[in-house]
Structure 1
Amino acid sequence: MSQRPAVLGNEAVQAHAGQVTVDLSAITDNVGRLRRLSRSSHFMAVVKGNGYGHGLVSAARAALDGGADWLGVAQLAEAIALREAGIAEPILAWLYLASADNEMIERAVASGIDLSVGSVEQLRAVAGASRRQGRRAEIHLELDSGLSRGGARLEDWPELVEATKQLERQNVLHSRGAWTHLAWADVPAHSANSASVLDFERAVHEAHMAGLGPLTRHVASSANILDRPDLHFDMVRAGLAMYGLSPADHINPAAFGLRPALTVTAPLVLVKRVPAGTGVSYEHRAMTHESRFLGLVPLGYADGIPKGISGHRLVKVGGELKPVIGKVCMDQFMVDLGPEAGGISVGDTVELFGDPSTGAASADMWGEAISSHGDEIINRIAPRLVRRYRA
């Protein structure tokens, strides 16, 4: 009898050789450590992007076990999924289209999800949903303090505050928080940070003078939890650091007792000896200069493995890091095992990245290899790789 395919969304997929292991205790422990470093009364665990690839609901629950009392997501669907999973703690969602997401906004309001508001248009959309649901919406006013992304610019802030005040008087909504995201959060000494925080404090003061609040103020993301305690205000937001990755080039997570929660592995499906002068993978961009043993790993760029890792010693097999050789293909890549196989054989586990304290490469090391960061690596990993969890 043939094996029935697993179902993923609307797609049928066969069981995949690659595996993602998530250590939930690492998330819980990391949040606990970060919470102890925080001077804030509240701690938001950011679980957007399917919990940075770790699993939305599982990561959220692990973070709450570690002491988080808020959850943060980008998409409304993520926030609603958390509610449907039975999570009752406060949730903030901040990315939605005011002119088109009316149904989702209504569902969010009905589910008691806080919404970020950075424009009068968004405010009106939330207010409309609130009226239709017959439930007062909770909002956080967002200031664009220099990132030029979400939020109202300082010159538009008074209009947003006035419109919010009018709707609060009508008991349509309630402003619970005020927040911003620093453009130079990962460069703590940058002068723009001080200027941005001054703008934020001015904006909050204007809101308070207009009668809004008290507002829960939050500015600090992962890097600033670790390097700028003066920016902690009433709540901090932890993303990368709670997953054990570096939120900035100058920060070593291990120095703060943080450890990665995610490990990616796959079996070697083929080991072969090739002679000197053998071209490896497409276009023969890699050539063997002596007899070598090569190992075939059944993961590729369709699984989120970046092509830029070619030539880098990043893959742990046989107890040590080995270099990727040749171009990464859609579903597979080759590892240079050396002039001798050293006992490595088909079926042996290849650890792509995980906890560097075990001798594995970290996702941050992979990010550096492609001139990026670990967050891009962990968020690339495809859903078709099975997630397995351990407490």
Structure 2
Amino acid sequence: MNWRFSMLLLLLLCFDGPGIKCQEEEETLPRNEVLGEPTVSCAADAIYVKLRTKSTFLGHVDVKYTPDKSCFQSLVTNNQIEILIPHEECMVPRRRSLHPTGVILEVSLSVSFHPEFTTVDDRIFNMQCFHQKKSNGSSSSLAIGSPQPPPTDTKGPSCSYEVLTSPEGSPAGRLALGQNVYHSWQCQNVYESCIMIESCQLVGGEETHEVIDSSGCSKHESIMPQLEYHNRTHVGASVKVFGVSHTSIVYFACQVRLHPQLPTGECPKPKCDLMRRKRDESSSQFPSIDVRSQNLEISQLINVTSSTESQIPSESVIQHTCPDIHVESAPAEEASESKLIEEKKICADFRSVLIVSILLTMALIIITTTIVVLIVRRQKYEIASMS
């Protein structure tokens, strides 16, 4: 009866006792958000970003697509976040602009409001710094917040290079090996000129790997096919995602050469036949524009993106199981049949060895048991004789 009285007293305290909590309240964090747009300051060697939040910031910030997650510095004071992103340490992507002359640096900043998880409230800011060189030799910097484009001169050519999820898709970010993507080069304000893509490199960390040579031809057609020239200002290629082994963050950098049209009105194209692959030295006199893709995060995991098209896995695991039943198949080549016979022979040999091993084990167990029984009986007989 004592335990029943104790339970009744506890229930009375839960219902009537002031200040006593019988059910643990769920801990919830207040909803937070970024107020306004971030303040971006462009220095010669770093990008400084300042944000303000609605309430005290308890989450974390991250510079996306950088190979070193500790390359930047962050300072959080109540509802203010300050981030310093050095160009060199964080490998901030950059590309050259001809009109106006200068360099564009791009960075993506992720703001997560939960200290451990990513949630729907998180924000990603894409920011650009444009460093322009003036005619007197001095330089000036201009910060450009997302999603405004960098300043351009409508009178001069401008080109872009993007890796898209499909020919009509959006820019890619995080990808898996073997996934289908579309590399797209486009230019504007080239007037009567034609574009030709040259000297493309895959950049991962401190290493570069050439994929398109100076004549505009692919050096590794098994992973980077020859480019398709759709018109004077648009070049593309459907590619299965590939990367490098030592880093998951990569980008592509190329040169876009502006060629004049041929007398026939057609555009010159790279001659990538094995017997004719030779760079036209006269093309070096034509102007070129340096372009680079966005940063890409390549996952090493196998990812099947289409049920109708087989994907090439990053790591092939070969498995073989012995057939339990015989399945008649269509006639095949003699080599395939001999290979199948050999596999069945190996399986049969394996089964024979397995059966023999089991029989030997059982025989050993029986012999051991018999010897033990005989020894025990002998000891009992000797004890009985002595008594």
Superposition TM-score, scaled by structure 1 size: 0.22
Greater share of residues in helix: 1
Greater share of residues in strand: 2
Superposition TM-score, scaled by structure 2 size: 0.22
